[in-house]
Amino acid sequence: MARIRSRREAGWRRCEGAGWRRASQSILAGPAQGSNSVTVRKLMLDAEGATPRRNYSGMRIASILSGSILLMDGDGATHLLQEGDTVIIDPDERHHFVNGGSSPASLILIDLQSGS
């Protein structure tokens, strides 16, 4: 049976902790919603917002919904991602996202659990 979750149910929360800057997220699907192998989140980076530089055990897919975002990959190279761009990040590749612009930017992040 399909599970439908309205946008009101998802809600937004500020991302806090080391490395987070001017960011908020909404978990669209994850373990709490019965999705044990994938987590889908919408991430909003305000102007000069950033995510921590870290690696994840599973594959990660990011698709830019609005604005432009810099991705620093595991080799330290910087890539400018713009609305409509999608990037696939291999498991254990250290990376982070930065909004260097003056307007908010948003992206969808899909995190596949290792072994999926």
Domain range summary for the chain, segments of one domain joined by +: 13-112
Instruction: Please state, in angstroms and rounded to a whole number, the distance separating the CA atoms of residues 73 and 98.
Output: 12
* Residue 57: per-residue pLDDT: 93
* Residue 115: per-residue pLDDT: 61
User: Considering Cα of 7, then 10, then 13, then 18, what sign does the dihedral take?
Assistant: negative
Give residues with Cβ within 8 angstroms of 60, minimum separation 6.
Answer: 88, 89, 95, 109, 110, 111, 112
What are the tens digits of pLDDT across the range 31-76? 888 888 999 999 999 999 999 999 999 999 999 999 999 999 989 9
* Residue 77: per-residue pLDDT: 94
* Residue 32: per-residue pLDDT: 86
Per-residue DSSP letter, 53: -
CATH architecture for residues 13-112? Sandwich (2.60)
Structure token pair of residue 79: 């890539």
Instruction: Please state, in angstroms and rounded to a whole number, the distance separating the CA atoms of residues 74 and 72.
Output: 7
What are the tens digits of pLDDT across the range 65-116? 999 999 999 899 999 999 999 999 999 999 999 999 999 999 999 999 876 5
Per-residue DSSP letter, 9: H
* Residue 84: per-residue pLDDT: 97
Instruction: Please state, in angstroms and rounded to a whole number, the distance separating the CA atoms of residues 57 and 99.
Output: 24
* Residue 16: per-residue pLDDT: 95
First to last CA, the chain: 21
Residue of 76 and 10 predicted with greater confidence: 76
* Residue 5: pLDDT over 90: no
